[in-house]
Structure 1
Amino acid sequence: MSESKNVSSRVMLAMLNISVWSARKFDNKATFEIEQNHSTKDIGRFNKKLLPENAASYKKIQEIASQLRTLFYAKTLKYGQDGIGLLPAALYMELAEDVRTARAKFIPAVDEFIEDLDNLKREAKVLLNGLFLESDYPTREMLLQKFNIGFKVLPFPDAEKFGVELPGEVVEDIKESIAMQMDEATSNAMTDLWYRLYGVVTHMADKLAKPNAIFRDSLVENLRDMCDLLPQLNFVGDENLTQLCDQVKEKLYVHEADSLRSNDTTRADAAKDAIEIQQMMAAFMGITPPEVMVETNPQQLLIA
């Protein structure tokens, strides 16, 4: 029995499509003038920014879109086709709620931006000087169509449910091909998950091993987020990955960023734990981990 048949009820394909007006416009005239001034052709295209840099109402839309994309990529795994992710059933309700929440912010933000557009155009006219063209801006009706959040899911392909009317041997060949592709997709998704955990552990090992290296709170926060999501992302129930995640929780998750900064002993111990887990993961993954050694803080040597 193929691996894909076992997991088809635990995972689905998810697509997120967010549209935001680019607020840029190619300018033929400006491009031509640049080419004339430099006596050359086809060296580039001049694209105008149609809004001032401080367009807060526009940036608000971009931030909402960016936050939702980040959540989507965190809660789905690589599938192999652009714009499509593997979404474990355990995370569907959570991601669907993320989309609903984002839409509830996105739609009013778009309305606010459109109301603000006349003011922004007046500012842009000053900034663009002679490059300003009213025709570069869509009408309000057209502009509304340039903003959208689309989210949909499809079932994970199941070779056994392929029932197109074709000769029997052809159908069997197609089923076998589908099963192989889905097994490969499942394997690639789990490789993606292994590398995600490996990445946050490696980053922590690298930062903590150097006593003077500066790091942000996100060093710990990102590791915790990964550990919190991993049980739901692990839709095939990989026990080795589960056990390694448990070790990360026991030895690294428990530390606060401030204590790692202020206590050299805590930092060094955490670095050693991170390196040990990193090396164990690398062995399972069949890769060679980077060489990381815990350095001694010069101040500790002076004290000693």
Structure 2
Amino acid sequence: MSITSNCMIVNLSLGMWSGYRLDKAASREVTTNAGAAADAARVNKHLVDKKHLQPIVTAASQVRQHFYEKTLPWKDNGDRVLTRMLYVPFIEEHGKLVREFRNAVNHFIGTDYPQAISQAEFRMGTLFNSDDYPSADDLRHRFYVALDIDAVSEANDFRVALDSDQVDEIRENMETAMKQRLGNAMREVWTRLADTLGHFAEKMGDEKAIFRDSTVANLLELIDILPGLNVIDDENLTAIHANLHHIFTGYEPKELRKFPEIRKNAASEAQRILDEMQGFMSAFGQAA
């Protein structure tokens, strides 16, 4: 897989209004009455009941979780790598989750927030200050989701006018950084696979263990997207994926609960593949 032609860099920005406000006067009163230093305590007011913001928090968490599940690490500034293979399903699901986030925001601003303000003086007592509450228009701008998409930069694209030796050195540094980022990305793929498969093997291996449907669903979903996460066309990962797809596709939680032999076989196969992965993962500085 050509990293420049088959991958892109994505960065997620997600803004939230916390619903908190520092009360400096109340903070001074608390520390003064306690005979404490001025910076010993801070009084943060909950301007609205947390239950009103929970739907937005949940929707934001789902946007963020989906973003991290379908992408791989790239830079420490939040940049992640997304493959062309996963782009269309990623964008479709991302758009759906963003709409749910915005619907939750609209409901809060249109319904819950006005009610919270009208109840605030009673709820907050002497801590109430109407200036703490932003207008609806101002509040709307504090909730946002933005997805930035960019191309993967290649060392050969570096064209700044410098001495040839300096350009060569910079290109070499860019190539080294690229290899390191690809290594980090693949390390996450192997780690994610080992964690998910390991959890599955553990639950299936204990006949008395109660497992959720998500134990199976998470493994099957990862198997489904694994080719799209293989940013360097790692032959070992391709072989592991083929093995996983052949063995586990079609497993249903109800069958694993009902038939001990199927469950035992699933645990055995999962552990066998985990053992096979150990050597492959060591190449990325990771142990299964």
TM over 0.5: yes
Q: Aligned partners of 2:258 and 2:32: how far apart in 1?
A: 60
2:181 is matched with 185
> Is 1:84–2:79 an aligned residue pair?
yes
* Cα 1:44–1:231 shift into 2, 3 Å: farther
User: CA RMSD for the aligned pairs?
Assistant: 2.0
Instruction: Give CA deviations for 1:96-117 in whole Å, capped at 9, x if unaligned.
Output: 3333333434434333322221
* Cα 1:32–1:262 shift into 2, 3 Å: farther
Instruction: Give CA deviations for 1:138-157 in whole Å, capped at 9, x if unaligned.
Output: 12221121111111111111
- Mean alpha-carbon deviation: is it higher for 97-106 or for 140-149? 97-106
1:277 is matched with 273
Deviation at 1:276, TM superposition (A): 1.0
Q: Is the 8 A contact 1:124 1:132 kept in 2?
A: yes
> Is 1:163–2:122 an aligned residue pair?
no
Deviation at 1:175, TM superposition (A): 0.7
1:67 is matched with 62
2:251 is matched with 255
> Is 1:112–2:107 an aligned residue pair?
yes
Residue 200 (structure 1) aligned to one of 187, 196, 218: 196
Q: Aligned partners of 1:264 and 1:45: how far apart in 2?
A: 56
Deviation at 1:44, TM superposition (A): 4.0
Deviation at 1:37, TM superposition (A): 4.3
- The percent of aligned pairs where both chains have the same amino acid is 31
Q: Aligned partners of 1:54 and 1:123: how far apart in 2?
A: 14
- Mean alpha-carbon deviation: is it higher for 210-219 or for 87-96? 87-96
Q: Aligned partners of 2:180 and 2:287: how far apart in 1?
A: 23
Q: Is the 8 A contact 1:61 1:110 kept in 2?
A: yes
Q: Aligned partners of 1:99 and 1:226: how far apart in 2?
A: 17
TM-score, with structure 1 as normaliser: 0.86
Q: Is the 8 A contact 1:224 1:253 kept in 2?
A: yes
Residue 49 (structure 2) aligned to one of 48, 52, 65: 52
2:7 is matched with 11
Q: Aligned partners of 2:277 and 2:44: how far apart in 1?
A: 46
**Paired residue type of 1:107:** R
Matches within 5 A, 1:127-138: 127-138=123-134
**Paired residue type of 1:49:** H
Q: Which ranges of structure 2 fall in alignment gaps of 5 or more residues?
A: none
Q: Secondary structure at the match of 1:152?
A: strand
**Paired residue type of 1:204:** F
TM-score, with structure 2 as normaliser: 0.90
Residue 97 (structure 2) aligned to one of 88, 102, 126: 102
Q: Is the 8 A contact 2:12 2:146 kept in 1?
A: yes
Number of aligned residue pairs: 283
Q: Is the 8 A contact 2:98 2:145 kept in 1?
A: yes
Instruction: Give CA deviations for 1:45-88 in whole Å, capped at 9, x if unaligned.
Output: 33222111331xx3333232221111111111011313211111
Q: Aligned partners of 2:202 and 2:26: how far apart in 1?
A: 48
Q: Is the 8 A contact 1:52 1:127 kept in 2?
A: no
Residue 30 (structure 2) aligned to one of 34, 54, 68: 34
